Amino acid sequence: MLGVYGMPWDVLQKGIQKMSILIKNGRVIDPDTRKDGRYDILIEEDKIVKVDQEIKEEAEEVIDAEGCYVMPGLIDLHVHLRDPGQTYKETVETGAAAAAHGGFTTVLAMPNTKPVTDDRLNIRYVHNKAKAMAPIHVLQAGAITKGQKGKELADIESMVAEGAPAISEDGKSVMDSLLCKEAMKIAAECGVPVMAHCEDIDLVDGGVANDDESIRKQGLRGISNAVEDIIAVRDVMLAGETGAHLHLCHCSTYGSVEIVKQAKKQDIHVTAEVCPHHFTLTSKDVDASDANYKMNPPLRTEKDRLGIIEGIRDGSIDMIATDHAPHSAEEKAVEPVWKAPSGIIGLETALALAVTNLVKPGHLTMVQLMEKMSLNPAKLYRFDKGSVAEGADADLVIFDENERWTVTEDDIASKSHNTPFIGAELYGRVKYTICGGRIVYEDKKTQA
């Protein structure tokens, strides 16, 4: 895994001192301080030391951000890095490189690895590997149950003590309600969120895609909205009883958005995320011969897509996450197509999809988008991130909102390329990603 200077990241981090960087002429968007205007930014070591309309100090590296936004580095609270155990799909290093390519400076990895990240040693493994090899900040969530088997709670306290900022059974729900309630009690005591993949596995009943007429015509079983909504209601009720912070992952139905909205009105500590593919595509876009459209939860109806967008607009939905789920080309090429594993990658395209489908149509301003993709994740998970203020960490993305580009294989830094967005025309391109005071990604077009 090579860094921006053509050297392994561990050598790069140990052998090269952080440099001073001066960013000139950019439009700074800071959702934390509500700053929105033309400013220069001076970075020394790993901190932002000055933000002013004109900075005359010299720096070792000068970036002309004319025509671009300068924003806090993006934070993705829902990625799958497949490390340990399935590194043919992705690794900590390649997943972090994909994140840097997409403007992300912090990501939270899910625990459905092999072995499952259900103890402090596996948490330590990911965190140590990330510190040595990853260009960005990588954090690891702990599993709720041992082996994600849903029978016995994992040692939640020890994983939190090791630095796990959340627990999750992502990829499935804890179907035992009493066990789930006990996990929420412990999480509340430890002060960490419970991230819920809402899926009633019994109701799935072999379903492979959204339950609509097109899937039934193919003789296949569908996944109804109730599969998600029933567990969402259950988990909200348990959060209300335990006082836990419940975070609903990848909401895909208009019903789950309404559930979150009503829970917040009752002062239940619930937050929620949606993924770019769920506010961009619907079940009508699905190519039945292409497993890159197979994901869990599935692509839903236009009513669901519009309900998600409204939830983003009215604040019911707190953040945007990718559910970056890499799979090998061989796995996605299995026949019949619906036997392929679920999931798509998303780190490289998330910001552009959000700009194209949320900002350009007027659903969100750029400041509001940065709240969903940086500030809110930082606040809700107590990361000292999400700001462009003086003294803040030098984690930034420089982004050209108006550059139109077509997604190609060359734009994918992930080890896997399973995405339905190859060939999509999008607005907005990441030009630079800066993490910890280092340039960790620079667009090739910028270099030319």
Tokens encoding 66: 């004319």
Question: Which residues, including other chains, have CB under 8 Å from residue 210's CB and lie 6 or more apart?
Answer: 222, 223, 283, 298, 299, 300, 301
Query: Residue written as tokens 């030009």?
Result: 431
**Residue 323 designated active-site:** yes
Q: Which stretch of DSSP H or E encloses residue 437?
A: none
How many of the other CB atoms lie within 10 Å of CB of 383?
19
Q: Is 219 exposed, middle or buried (0-12, 13-18, 19+ CB in 10 A)?
A: exposed
DSSP reduced 3-state for 147: helix
Spatial contact of 144 and 157, defined as CB atoms under 8 Å apart: no
Residue type, 34: R
Residue type, 132: A
Residue type, 252: S
Closest to 427 measured CA to CA, from 358, 368, 344, 364: 358
Kindly tell me the sign of the dihedral angle through the C-alpha atoms of 366, 367, 372, 377: positive
Question: Which residues, including other chains, have CB under 8 Å from residue 232's CB and lie 6 or more apart?
Answer: 196, 198, 248, 251, 255, 256, 259, 260
Q: Which of 118, 323, 400, 411 is catalytic?
A: 323
Question: Which residues, including other chains, have CB under 8 Å from residue 237's CB and lie 6 or more apart?
Answer: none
Which residues form the catalytic set? 323
